[in-house]
Amino acid sequence: MKILITGGCGFIGSNLIRILNNNGFKEICVVDDLSKGELSYIEGSIISEFYQRDIRDYNELSVCFQGVDIVIHLAAYGSVVESIDEPQQNFDINTAGTLNILRQSIANNVTKVIFASTGGALIGNADPPVSESSVPRPISPYGASKLACEGYCCAFSHSYNVDITSLRFANVVGPTSYHKKGAVTAFLKAVINKNPIEIYGDGTATRDFLHVDDLCNGILLALKSKKHGYSVYHLASGQQTSVIELASEVIKVTGGKHQEIIYHKKRVGEVEKNFATYDLAKTELGFKPKYSLQDAILDTYGSFLQWKK
Protein backbone atom coordinates (compact mmCIF):
# COMPACT_ATOMS: atom_id res chain seq x y z
CA MET A 1 0.00 0.00 0.00
CA LYS A 2 1.43 3.35 -1.06
CA ILE A 3 0.37 6.41 0.94
CA LEU A 4 0.79 10.01 -0.20
CA ILE A 5 0.85 12.67 2.52
CA THR A 6 0.56 16.33 1.54
CA GLY A 7 2.13 18.69 4.06
CA GLY A 8 4.15 15.74 5.34
CA CYS A 9 7.01 17.90 6.63
CA GLY A 10 4.75 19.93 8.90
CA PHE A 11 3.71 19.49 12.51
CA ILE A 12 0.99 16.88 12.06
CA GLY A 13 2.56 15.26 9.00
CA SER A 14 5.91 14.56 10.66
CA ASN A 15 4.22 12.99 13.68
CA LEU A 16 1.86 11.01 11.46
CA ILE A 17 4.75 9.50 9.49
CA ARG A 18 6.29 8.34 12.78
CA ILE A 19 2.99 6.71 13.83
CA LEU A 20 2.56 5.09 10.40
CA ASN A 21 6.12 3.74 10.44
CA ASN A 22 5.52 2.28 13.90
CA ASN A 23 2.45 0.51 12.49
CA GLY A 24 4.30 -1.08 9.58
CA PHE A 25 3.65 1.48 6.83
CA LYS A 26 6.92 2.14 5.00
CA GLU A 27 5.92 3.14 1.46
CA ILE A 28 5.08 6.78 2.10
CA CYS A 29 5.35 9.57 -0.44
CA VAL A 30 5.64 13.09 1.01
CA VAL A 31 4.59 16.26 -0.80
CA ASP A 32 5.47 19.59 0.81
CA ASP A 33 6.44 23.02 -0.50
CA LEU A 34 8.53 23.61 2.67
CA SER A 35 6.98 27.05 3.21
CA LYS A 36 6.12 26.05 6.79
CA GLY A 37 7.45 22.54 7.39
CA GLU A 38 11.06 21.41 7.39
CA LEU A 39 12.83 18.31 6.12
CA SER A 40 14.53 18.03 9.51
CA TYR A 41 11.14 17.14 11.02
CA ILE A 42 11.10 13.82 9.16
CA GLU A 43 14.77 12.92 9.58
CA GLY A 44 14.99 9.31 10.70
CA SER A 45 11.53 8.46 9.35
CA ILE A 46 11.07 5.90 6.59
CA ILE A 47 9.66 7.40 3.40
CA SER A 48 9.93 6.22 -0.18
CA GLU A 49 9.77 9.57 -2.00
CA PHE A 50 9.82 13.29 -1.28
CA TYR A 51 8.51 15.92 -3.68
CA GLN A 52 8.84 19.64 -3.10
CA ARG A 53 5.64 20.77 -4.79
CA ASP A 54 2.97 23.45 -4.43
CA ILE A 55 -0.55 21.98 -4.33
CA ARG A 56 -1.82 25.02 -6.22
CA ASP A 57 -0.10 23.70 -9.37
CA TYR A 58 -2.19 20.82 -10.72
CA ASN A 59 0.31 19.71 -13.37
CA GLU A 60 3.24 19.73 -10.93
CA LEU A 61 1.40 17.22 -8.77
CA SER A 62 0.89 14.52 -11.39
CA VAL A 63 4.20 12.71 -10.80
CA CYS A 64 3.50 12.51 -7.06
CA PHE A 65 0.36 10.38 -7.51
CA GLN A 66 1.82 7.55 -9.57
CA GLY A 67 1.01 4.22 -7.93
CA VAL A 68 -0.61 5.87 -4.90
CA ASP A 69 -3.40 3.96 -3.11
CA ILE A 70 -4.33 6.34 -0.29
CA VAL A 71 -3.98 10.13 0.02
CA ILE A 72 -3.84 11.91 3.38
CA HIS A 73 -4.28 15.60 2.59
CA LEU A 74 -2.87 17.75 5.39
CA ALA A 75 -1.38 20.69 3.46
CA ALA A 76 -3.25 23.91 4.25
CA TYR A 77 -3.13 27.61 5.03
CA GLY A 78 -4.04 27.11 8.67
CA SER A 79 -4.37 30.48 10.40
CA VAL A 80 -7.73 32.13 11.15
CA VAL A 81 -6.15 35.57 11.65
CA GLU A 82 -4.00 35.33 8.50
CA SER A 83 -7.00 34.17 6.47
CA ILE A 84 -8.74 37.45 7.29
CA ASP A 85 -5.69 39.41 6.11
CA GLU A 86 -5.18 37.20 3.02
CA PRO A 87 -8.54 35.61 2.05
CA GLN A 88 -7.51 35.05 -1.58
CA GLN A 89 -4.32 33.19 -0.63
CA ASN A 90 -6.28 31.16 1.88
CA PHE A 91 -8.78 30.18 -0.83
CA ASP A 92 -6.07 29.38 -3.38
CA ILE A 93 -4.17 27.05 -1.05
CA ASN A 94 -7.04 25.44 0.85
CA THR A 95 -9.95 25.25 -1.57
CA ALA A 96 -8.31 25.33 -5.01
CA GLY A 97 -5.39 23.24 -3.71
CA THR A 98 -7.76 20.61 -2.33
CA LEU A 99 -9.63 20.52 -5.64
CA ASN A 100 -6.29 19.75 -7.33
CA ILE A 101 -5.65 16.92 -4.87
CA LEU A 102 -9.08 15.45 -5.53
CA ARG A 103 -8.73 15.73 -9.31
CA GLN A 104 -5.33 14.02 -9.27
CA SER A 105 -6.72 11.33 -6.97
CA ILE A 106 -9.48 10.53 -9.45
CA ALA A 107 -7.11 10.69 -12.44
CA ASN A 108 -4.75 8.21 -10.76
CA ASN A 109 -7.35 5.77 -9.37
CA VAL A 110 -6.65 6.47 -5.71
CA THR A 111 -8.93 4.27 -3.58
CA LYS A 112 -9.23 6.47 -0.47
CA VAL A 113 -8.70 10.14 0.43
CA ILE A 114 -8.49 11.43 4.00
CA PHE A 115 -8.98 15.18 4.27
CA ALA A 116 -7.82 17.27 7.24
CA SER A 117 -10.68 19.55 8.15
CA THR A 118 -11.39 21.56 11.29
CA GLY A 119 -14.07 21.63 13.94
CA GLY A 120 -14.25 25.06 15.56
CA ALA A 121 -13.54 27.33 12.60
CA LEU A 122 -15.85 25.40 10.28
CA ILE A 123 -18.81 25.25 12.68
CA GLY A 124 -18.44 28.84 13.90
CA ASN A 125 -20.23 30.17 16.97
CA ALA A 126 -22.50 27.33 18.09
CA ASP A 127 -23.47 25.97 21.49
CA PRO A 128 -20.87 23.33 22.39
CA PRO A 129 -20.31 20.48 22.31
CA VAL A 130 -20.51 20.41 18.52
CA SER A 131 -20.85 17.21 16.51
CA GLU A 132 -21.20 15.97 12.94
CA SER A 133 -24.84 17.07 13.01
CA SER A 134 -24.03 20.69 13.95
CA VAL A 135 -24.86 23.23 11.24
CA PRO A 136 -21.66 24.87 9.91
CA ARG A 137 -21.66 28.67 9.92
CA PRO A 138 -18.00 29.70 9.65
CA ILE A 139 -17.01 33.20 10.77
CA SER A 140 -13.58 33.37 9.09
CA PRO A 141 -12.28 32.76 5.56
CA TYR A 142 -10.26 29.83 6.96
CA GLY A 143 -13.41 28.15 8.27
CA ALA A 144 -15.22 28.89 5.00
CA SER A 145 -12.39 27.33 2.98
CA LYS A 146 -12.53 24.12 5.00
CA LEU A 147 -16.32 23.95 4.61
CA ALA A 148 -15.92 24.40 0.84
CA CYS A 149 -13.33 21.60 0.81
CA GLU A 150 -15.70 19.27 2.66
CA GLY A 151 -18.32 20.08 0.04
CA TYR A 152 -15.96 19.10 -2.77
CA CYS A 153 -14.93 15.93 -0.89
CA CYS A 154 -18.57 14.88 -0.55
CA ALA A 155 -19.30 15.70 -4.18
CA PHE A 156 -16.24 13.84 -5.51
CA SER A 157 -17.01 10.79 -3.38
CA HIS A 158 -20.50 10.54 -4.87
CA SER A 159 -19.59 11.61 -8.40
CA TYR A 160 -16.55 9.38 -8.85
CA ASN A 161 -17.28 6.51 -6.43
CA VAL A 162 -14.21 7.00 -4.23
CA ASP A 163 -14.02 6.65 -0.45
CA ILE A 164 -13.34 10.03 1.15
CA THR A 165 -13.22 10.85 4.85
CA SER A 166 -13.15 14.36 6.32
CA LEU A 167 -11.62 14.49 9.79
CA ARG A 168 -12.44 17.61 11.79
CA PHE A 169 -9.42 18.26 13.98
CA ALA A 170 -9.52 19.85 17.41
CA ASN A 171 -6.66 22.22 18.40
CA VAL A 172 -3.68 19.91 18.07
CA VAL A 173 -0.77 20.09 20.53
CA GLY A 174 2.57 18.28 20.53
CA PRO A 175 6.21 18.09 19.39
CA THR A 176 7.56 19.72 16.19
CA SER A 177 5.03 22.55 16.44
CA TYR A 178 7.53 25.34 17.14
CA HIS A 179 6.67 27.07 13.85
CA LYS A 180 2.91 27.04 14.54
CA LYS A 181 0.88 30.04 15.71
CA GLY A 182 -1.62 28.49 18.11
CA ALA A 183 -2.14 29.46 21.74
CA VAL A 184 -0.06 26.64 23.24
CA THR A 185 2.89 27.49 21.01
CA ALA A 186 2.60 31.21 21.72
CA PHE A 187 2.31 30.71 25.49
CA LEU A 188 5.26 28.30 25.68
CA LYS A 189 7.46 30.59 23.59
CA ALA A 190 6.55 33.50 25.88
CA VAL A 191 7.64 31.54 28.96
CA ILE A 192 10.85 30.27 27.35
CA ASN A 193 11.82 33.71 26.07
CA LYS A 194 10.76 35.43 29.34
CA ASN A 195 8.06 37.49 27.65
CA PRO A 196 4.49 38.11 28.85
CA ILE A 197 1.78 35.66 27.85
CA GLU A 198 -0.62 37.54 25.58
CA ILE A 199 -4.33 36.70 25.64
CA TYR A 200 -6.80 38.09 23.11
CA GLY A 201 -10.15 38.69 24.79
CA ASP A 202 -10.91 38.17 28.46
CA GLY A 203 -9.57 34.61 28.61
CA THR A 204 -12.97 32.90 28.87
CA ALA A 205 -12.98 31.66 25.26
CA THR A 206 -12.75 27.87 25.19
CA ARG A 207 -11.02 25.37 22.92
CA ASP A 208 -10.71 21.61 22.57
CA PHE A 209 -7.04 20.55 22.78
CA LEU A 210 -5.85 17.18 21.49
CA HIS A 211 -2.42 15.54 21.72
CA VAL A 212 -0.93 15.05 18.25
CA ASP A 213 -0.41 11.32 18.90
CA ASP A 214 -4.12 10.90 19.66
CA LEU A 215 -4.93 12.75 16.43
CA CYS A 216 -2.52 10.65 14.37
CA ASN A 217 -3.93 7.45 15.83
CA GLY A 218 -7.36 8.73 14.74
CA ILE A 219 -6.05 9.25 11.21
CA LEU A 220 -4.63 5.71 11.29
CA LEU A 221 -8.04 4.33 12.30
CA ALA A 222 -9.68 6.23 9.42
CA LEU A 223 -7.05 4.85 7.04
CA LYS A 224 -7.83 1.29 8.14
CA SER A 225 -11.62 1.76 8.12
CA LYS A 226 -13.61 -0.33 5.65
CA LYS A 227 -16.50 2.13 5.49
CA HIS A 228 -17.33 3.18 1.93
CA GLY A 229 -18.51 6.48 0.50
CA TYR A 230 -18.21 9.82 2.23
CA SER A 231 -17.74 10.15 6.00
CA VAL A 232 -17.16 12.98 8.49
CA TYR A 233 -15.74 12.58 11.99
CA HIS A 234 -14.66 14.91 14.77
CA LEU A 235 -11.31 13.97 16.31
CA ALA A 236 -11.34 15.79 19.62
CA SER A 237 -10.80 15.42 23.36
CA GLY A 238 -14.44 16.10 24.19
CA GLN A 239 -13.37 18.61 26.84
CA GLN A 240 -13.34 22.39 26.80
CA THR A 241 -10.49 24.42 28.25
CA SER A 242 -10.62 28.19 28.60
CA VAL A 243 -7.70 30.26 27.38
CA ILE A 244 -6.92 31.42 30.90
CA GLU A 245 -6.99 27.81 32.14
CA LEU A 246 -4.60 26.93 29.34
CA ALA A 247 -2.24 29.75 30.37
CA SER A 248 -2.35 28.52 33.97
CA GLU A 249 -1.55 24.96 32.86
CA VAL A 250 1.40 26.19 30.77
CA ILE A 251 2.72 28.19 33.72
CA LYS A 252 2.35 25.16 36.02
CA VAL A 253 4.09 22.77 33.61
CA THR A 254 6.98 25.15 32.92
CA GLY A 255 7.40 26.39 36.48
CA GLY A 256 6.97 30.04 35.46
CA LYS A 257 5.44 31.10 38.80
CA HIS A 258 5.76 34.84 38.24
CA GLN A 259 4.74 34.80 34.58
CA GLU A 260 3.11 38.06 33.46
CA ILE A 261 -0.16 37.84 31.51
CA ILE A 262 -1.41 40.75 29.42
CA TYR A 263 -4.77 41.07 27.66
CA HIS A 264 -5.61 42.47 24.23
CA LYS A 265 -8.82 43.12 22.36
CA LYS A 266 -10.54 39.98 21.02
CA ARG A 267 -9.53 39.18 17.45
CA VAL A 268 -12.06 39.09 14.63
CA GLY A 269 -12.94 35.66 13.24
CA GLU A 270 -12.06 33.63 16.31
CA VAL A 271 -14.77 31.38 17.73
CA GLU A 272 -15.81 32.20 21.31
CA LYS A 273 -16.68 28.74 22.69
CA ASN A 274 -15.79 25.41 21.19
CA PHE A 275 -15.34 21.78 21.99
CA ALA A 276 -16.56 18.67 20.19
CA THR A 277 -17.93 15.25 21.01
CA TYR A 278 -16.04 12.36 19.39
CA ASP A 279 -18.88 9.85 19.91
CA LEU A 280 -19.27 9.00 16.21
CA ALA A 281 -15.52 8.45 15.74
CA LYS A 282 -15.53 6.26 18.85
CA THR A 283 -18.46 4.17 17.59
CA GLU A 284 -17.42 3.77 13.96
CA LEU A 285 -13.60 4.00 14.13
CA GLY A 286 -12.80 2.98 17.69
CA PHE A 287 -11.22 6.38 18.40
CA LYS A 288 -10.55 7.29 22.02
CA PRO A 289 -7.93 9.85 23.11
CA LYS A 290 -5.63 8.77 25.93
CA TYR A 291 -3.37 11.77 26.58
CA SER A 292 -4.25 14.61 28.96
CA LEU A 293 -3.76 18.29 28.19
CA GLN A 294 -0.92 18.30 30.71
CA ASP A 295 0.75 15.45 28.79
CA ALA A 296 0.39 17.42 25.55
CA ILE A 297 1.85 20.62 27.01
CA LEU A 298 4.71 18.75 28.69
CA ASP A 299 5.66 16.93 25.48
CA THR A 300 5.47 20.18 23.51
CA TYR A 301 7.56 22.06 26.08
CA GLY A 302 10.25 19.37 26.01
CA SER A 303 10.46 19.53 22.22
CA PHE A 304 10.69 23.33 22.30
CA LEU A 305 13.60 23.22 24.74
CA GLN A 306 15.39 20.82 22.39
CA TRP A 307 14.58 23.07 19.43
CA LYS A 308 16.09 26.09 21.20
CA LYS A 309 19.35 24.19 21.64
pLDDT higher at 309 or 223: 223
pLDDT per residue as tens digits for the range 71-105: 999 999 989 999 999 999 999 999 999 999 999 99
pLDDT per residue as tens digits for the range 147-172: 999 999 999 999 999 999 999 999 99
- Intra-chain end-to-end CA distance of the chain, in Å: 38
Using pLDDT thresholds of 50, 70 and 90, give the confidence band for residue 309.
low
Query: Would the pTM count as exceeding 0.75?
Result: yes
**Alpha-carbon distance 226 to 238, whole Å?**
25
Please tell me the class of the 3-173+210-238 domain.
alpha beta
**How does strand 163-169 pair with strand 3-6?**
unpaired
Tell me the percentage of the chain whose pLDDT exceeds 90.
Answer: 94
pLDDT per residue as tens digits for the range 40-70: 999 999 999 999 999 999 999 999 999 999 9
Tell me what the pLDDT averaged over the chain comes to.
96
Please state the domain extents for the chain.
Answer: 3-173+210-238
What integer pLDDT is reported at residue 308 of this predicted model? Answer: 61
Does 278 qualify as catalytic in the annotation?
Answer: no
Residue 258, pLDDT > 90, answer no
Cα angle 249, 253, 257; round to 5: 85
pLDDT per residue as tens digits for the range 233-250: 999 999 999 999 999 999
**Alpha-carbon distance 118 to 111, whole Å?**
23
Rounded to a whole number of angstroms, the CA Rg of the chain reads 19
**Alpha-carbon distance 74 to 146, whole Å?**
12
Catalytic residue among 41, 51, 58, 142: 142
